[in-house]
Amino acid sequence: MSNKPVALVTGGAGFIGSHIVDLLLEQGSEVRVLDNLTGGRLQNLEHHKANPLLTFHNLDITTVELNHPIFSDVDWLFHMAGIGDIVPSIERPLDYFHTNALGTARIAEAARNANVKRVVYAASSSCYGIAAVPTNELAPIDPQYPYALTKYIGEQTLFHWHQVYGLPVNSIRIFNAYGPRSRTSGAYGAVFGVFLRQRLAGKPLTVVGDGMQSRDFVYATDVARAFVAAAVTDKVGEIYNIGAGNETANRVLVDKLLALLGKDESSVQYVADRLGHDRRYSVDITKITKLGWKRSRSLDEALEATVNWYRDNRWWWEPLKAKK
């Protein structure tokens, strides 16, 4: 029997999930990916196709059998799968409840049946709503959209399995993640992803209002390191915020991206703020740093690495140019 840790990553072909797969394989773990490819891409795992430690299973968290062999002998289960777009959740709330809430309950029960040693859940900072900054883990819960609500219900479901059945669970509430393979729409991509998509498609970057709204941007590989830290710690039943620990104004992000991508007279378009976007987002990362986590790159270094990745991986962004 192998002494290598066995990890299962639901949603492992997605943005953050694939970065967790990268890190686990780099550390020598056996990795199983469960993904129905609704949001994920097999290309996100293409660079590991020759690695015998990785297996891919095209399965859905809402229908996977509770006794499926994929759960057997798992040390760490990283539950990343779910629907991640905010706006469609307002239009299709029941789909979000089905996947993010009921699908997570199914994963919790399968993990309990298989005696999984640790579950780490990908929660969302959107559960806080419009919170005071910097936001810590004790901030009031105030979901503004069905997406935020269902991700929070998923988190609370896993903690209920922890309370009632002893399932060892930790949760990571992700703020604004970015990096290679980043989504260019939806919850995780958010401002960064929208800007990147616009520029790669040859369109101006749309800045709302004066552009002084801020976000807390955290690099994807650092997010992956936080998830692994939450898997290997002896602590269970804990919630951790993950961000960079500082805020960056949208206008500053635009300037940094244009310095890397090129700027012309039509690079930026300012539009009126009709919805009150003058919000600040900043995360208190005190708790996650106690697990030994710290940011590995500055924003400038990480942005440059991200832009270079998109330049080198035309399969990802060429379809965006076609929509110009």
165 classed as catalytic: no
Which residue type is seen at 81? A
Rounded CA-CA distance 171/187 in Å is: 18
Which has the closest alpha carbon to 69: 85, 81, 57?
57
The torsion angles phi and psi of 56, rounded to 5 degrees, stand at -115, 135
- Helices 220-232, 15-26: axis angle to 10 degrees equals 60
- In the 8-state DSSP scheme, what is residue 272? -
Of 96, 121, 147, 219, which one is the catalytic site residue? 147
CA–CA distance, 5 with 15 (Å, rounded to integer): 22
Per the DSSP assignment, residues forming a β-bridge with 150 are none
| Euclidean distance between CA atoms 221 and 14, whole angstroms | 13
29 secondary structure, DSSP code: -
**Catalytic (active-site) positions:** 147
